[in-house]
Amino acid sequence: MIFDSSTPPTFVFDFDSTLVSIESLDELIALSIRENHEPDEAGKILEEIRKITDMGMNGEIDFPESLSRRLKKAPVNRSHIKKFGSSITESITPGLPAIIKELRTKKYQVLIMSGALIDCVMPVAIKLGIHPSDVFANRAVFDESGRLTGFEVNDMAKTEGKTLHLGKLIKTGYIRGKIIMVGDGISDLEPYRKKIASHFIGVGIHKKRETVMREAPYFFTSVPPLKRHIRLLLNNVEFRASS
C-alpha cells in the first residue's frame, strides 16, 4: 500500500460497543419485541435472538443470514427506529467526544464505519461534529406494511465490508493517509490484518472479544489510556499531521 506521507492519517471509528456503549441493532430489536409481546414471551424470543447473534459472532452464519433470521422474529418498524434514534446519543461512550473533538481540531480525517443502521449512527455523528459524508453505515429496507426486512445492498452489510470499502476509499483518493482503526470487533481488526490499515486500536471498554484482545497491537478497557495512546500516536513522526 502506498500512502502519501505528507497527509495526516485517517481515524476510522466503529460505532456499536465503541462510540456507543450498546449494540444498536440488538437494542432496536429488543424494543420492538417488548412493545409487541407480553414480558414472558418477549423474554423467550429475545433468548432465541441472542442465540442467532452468537452464531453470527462465532462465524457459524454470515452477517446477512444473521440479520434476516433476527428480523423474521422482530417486527421492527419506522416508528421504533425513530424512537430509538432520538435517544441514542445518551449511549455515547463518556470521554470519546473529547478525543474526537481534539482530532477534528487538529484536522485529522475522522470516519465512522458501522454495520448499524444510519438512522442510529447519524444522530451520534452530528453530536460529535463528524460530517455526514464521513459516515458509512446501512440503510433500512421495509416491506409494504412498513416492517424492516433488511439492509440495502452495500459494503457495510457485508461480513468484510469495512476492509472492502476502505480499499475503495483509498482507490478513489478519499483516504490519502495511513489508516488507524479503532473498534471492538473482528470487522475492525480485519483491515489491519489485511494491511489496509497501518494501525489498530482495540477497544474493550464495553465488550472484550478474545480474538481482538489477542491480535490488537494495543487494547484498552477504559478511555484515559486510550486517550494517552492516541496523543502519543499523534506525536509519533509516522502518524503526525503535517502543519
In the region spanning residues 166 to 205, those forming contacts with Mg ion, defined by CB under 5 A, are: 184-185
Contact between 161 and Mg ion by CB under 5 A: the answer reads no
Q: Residues of 212-233 as b/e, b for ≥16 C-beta within 10 angstroms?
A: beeebebbbeebeebbeebeeb
Nearer CB in complex with Mg ion: 223/241: 223
Report d(CA 131, CA 133) in Å as an integer.
5
In the region spanning residues 10 to 29, those forming contacts with Mg ion, defined by CB under 5 A, are: 14, 16-17
CB of 17 to Mg ion, least distance (A): 4
CB of 215 to Mg ion, least distance (A): 15
C-alpha cell at position 189: 481488526
CB of 209 to Mg ion, least distance (A): 9
CB of 39 to Mg ion, least distance (A): 28
Nearer CB in complex with Mg ion: 14/190: 14
- Selection from 14, 6, 1, 11 nearest residue 184 by Cα: 14
Nearer CB in complex with Mg ion: 14/119: 14
Residue ranges that bind Mg ion, judged by CB under 5 A: 14, 16-17, 184-185
